[in-house]
A and B are shown apart, each in its own frame.
Chain A
Amino acid sequence: MSNENSAMPVVRRSLRLLSGLAMLGITATVASPSALAAYEVITVTNGGTIDGVVTLTGAKPAGVPITVTKNQDYCGATIANPDYVVDASGGLADVLVYLKDIPKGKAAPTEPVLLDNQHCMFVPRVTGAMVGQMIKVSTADPVLHNTHLQDAATNATIFNVAMPFKGFTVTKPLPGNPEMINIKCDAHEWMHAWIKELDHPYYATTDASGHFTLKDVPPGNYTLVAWHETAGEKSAPVVVAAGKATKSAIMLAAK
């Protein structure tokens, strides 16, 4: 009797250990997505605005135009060099600007992020997307494009969808990792675009004059990150006051 009594707890302990291991396993698989889902949606009533401009410093490289090697009849013989799109005052377009590590704020966008194939170039060239947001790819071109997304870190193909004729659109999920995604069109090898998934909706792309706006930011101290395909990345601290517009100026050096 005493033997049985002392043996049973061993089994029970083993079972408890097993269920404990199983729970650990479940926690481990859920851990990475839940870390992304840490962002909390709140009603932002006293939010501030970040009004900023990204400027290119240093001499802008000459920028040889792209020589079009395919479908010249439609795409043209050359396309303006997209490496640095700068206006007269040095404002740099196509810079992705986003807040780093913002724990709570406004709700996620309800519409998919847009990517258009426009005259043998992707528009926009770079954009943010919130984890869980879909991507809607469209084409205005009467030639075959393919929109080929790859994880920038691993090079793994996310999807590669044919855009066979003018007017075709397709909406697909993004992988849901807060990483950079490289986008290319294999059929027109000069076509490139970038999407960075973020776990919050505070991102913007600079316009033709280098300006960007982030609205409804809960008051606080943040780090602003600017990413450009050629000039690279730069961070700057920013203080957002309730109901006020904060000016921010970021300089990226030409490479």
Chain B
Amino acid sequence: MLVRLAQLAPVAACILLTVSIAEADTGDARNGKLVYERNCLACHGAQGDGHGEAAEYMSTKPRDYRQGTFKWRSTPSGSLPLDSDLEHTLINGLHGTYMPPWRSLGETSRQDVIAYIKTFAPRFATEKPQDPIVIPPDPGYSAESVARGAAVYDKYNCSQCHGAGGKGDGPSATGLKDDWGNDIVPYDLTKGHVKCGDKSTDIYRVFMAGLSGTPMPTFADSLSTTDAWDLVHFIQSLSPLYAKVTVSGGLATGGQP
């Protein structure tokens, strides 16, 4: 009987294991805790509240994980992010902030630390992220699209915060706060690199999904996909990384980088 039990034990164990794997995240949060303590704790804090020892010296504050609120998401405004969204930030970092790329961690450690970071926000245990927003293919950068995008920028009052010239100096630029009460400024779109990525799809995502936790809202309910792409191209035209468009139309020099 003991022999039989011993033989059956692995079967029962396998069933248990299958159940727990099916319900668990892909990463191992226990190992993720070690990865977090080694690499993330100094800024994001032992409690995941963004109050690590180094945080007070930073103008852009480290993310407080407890609300499940993230700027870089493929999901709609207010939704939890996908694991792949968090991994995107880990791989690429956030340009212009203290968050560096963590490519060196490797795939497994990244998955593990994501599983651990999610334990700071109880929402991850009870809520599912919404489906990612749909980003149709970029129809292409052109003078005509940039010109139409300038009209979209005007109609949608982007200048309210970002200013008529995109320098982040609109009437509502002052006194803005993030969800935690920290001062926050609208992005200067003429600077070049965009914090959440330089690809056209990154820019599209920012104003269609919004930057949760900041004043930047979603325009997905008011902006058509056609207008959105024109707006992307206009924003690109403000950047020194992109070819300038002359008033009479047509690219002054070169094309899309």
B222 pairs with A162, CB closer than 8 A: yes
For B21, list chain A residues within 8 Å (CB).
none
Supposing A22-B19, A164-B219 touch, asked if A156 and B67 sit within 8 A by C-beta, the answer is: yes
Contact A11 B12 (CB under 8 A): yes
A29-B126, A165-B155, A187-B215 as given contacts; A170 in contact with B221, CB under 8 Å = yes
A3, B5: Cα distance in complex, Å: 9
* Contact between chains at B218 and A162 (CB < 8 Å): yes
Question: How many Å lie between the Cα of A20 and that of B218 in the bound state?
Answer: 43
A residues 62-76 touching B (CB-CB < 8 Å) = 69-71
* Contacting residues, chain B, for A170 (C-beta < 8 A): 221-222
1-49 of chain B: CB within 8 A of chain A: 1, 3-5, 8, 11-12, 15-16, 19, 23
A158 touches B78 (CB 8 A): yes
Tell me how far the C-beta of B164 lies from the nearest C-beta in chain A, rounded to whole angstroms: 13
B-contact 0/1 string along A135-169, CB 8 Å cutoff: 00000000110111110001111111111110010
A77: interface (CB < 8 Å)? no
The A-contacting residues of B in range 103-142, CB under 8 angstroms, are: 123, 126
B-contact bits for A2-32, CB 8 A (1 contact / 0 none)? 1110110011001100100110010001001
Task: Check B68–A146 contact: CB distance below 8 A.
Answer: no
Whole-angstrom CA separation of A75 from B67 in the bound complex: 33
Q: In the complex, which of the residues B4, B66, B78, B222 contacts A160, with contact meaning CB atoms closer than 8 Å? A: B78
Query: A2 contacts which chain B residues (CB < 8 A)?
Result: 1
Of all chain A residues, the one with the shortest Cβ separation from B11 is A11
Known: A155-B179, A156-B68. A164 touches B172 (CB 8 A): no
Count class of interface residues, chain B: 35 or more
A188 an interface residue at 8 Å Cβ cutoff? yes
Q: Is the CB of A161 within 8 A of B160?
A: no
Please determine whether B221 and A161 come into contact, CB atoms closer than 8 angstroms. Answer: yes
A143-B215 in contact given A7-B4, A11-B8, A156-B69 (Cβ < 8 Å): no
A219 to B152, CA, bound (A): 56
- B191-230 vs A, CB cutoff 8 Å, 1 = contact: the mask equals 0000000000000000000101111111101110000000
CA gap between A168 and B217 in the complex, in Å: 15
Q: How far is the CA of A157 from the CA of B212 in the complex (A)?
A: 7
Q: Which residues of B contact A172 (CB under 8 A)?
A: 221
A143 touches B19 (CB 8 A): no
In contact, A189 and B177 (Cβ under 8 angstroms): yes
Interface membership of B174, Cβ < 8 A? yes
List residues of chain B with CB within 8 A of the CB of A147: 217
- Whether, in the assembled complex, B157 has its beta carbon less than 8 Å from a beta carbon of chain A, the answer is yes
Bound form: Cα–Cα A97–B179 in Å? 28
In the bound complex, do residue B212 and residue A160 qualify as a contact, i.e. CB atoms below 8 Å apart?
Answer: yes
B172: A residues at CB distance < 8 A: 70-71, 144, 186-188
A7 closest partner in B (C-beta): B4
Min C-beta distance of B131 to chain A, whole Å: 14
Residue B156 lies at the interface, judged by CB distance under 8 Å to chain A: yes
Is there an interface contact between A155 and B216, defined as CB atoms closer than 8 Å? no
Pairwise interchain contact A164-B1, C-beta atoms closer than 8 A: no
Q: Tell whether, in the assembled complex, residue A165 and residue B157 are in contact, meaning their CB atoms are under 8 Å apart.
A: yes
Candidate in B155, B177, B221 with the most chain A CB atoms within 10 angstroms: B221
Chain A nearest Cβ from B213, distance in angstroms:
6
Q: A3-B1, A15-B15, A164-B157 are in contact. Are A146 and B217 (CB under 8 A)?
A: yes
Min Cβ gap A37→B in Å is 16
Which residues of B lie under 8 Å from residue A32 when comparing CB positions?
126
Q: Given A148-B215, A150-B179, A170-B222, are A156 and B123 also a contact pair (CB < 8 Å)?
A: yes
Which 5 pairs from chain A and chain B are nearest by CB?
A186-B215, A144-B157, A144-B160, A159-B78, A146-B217
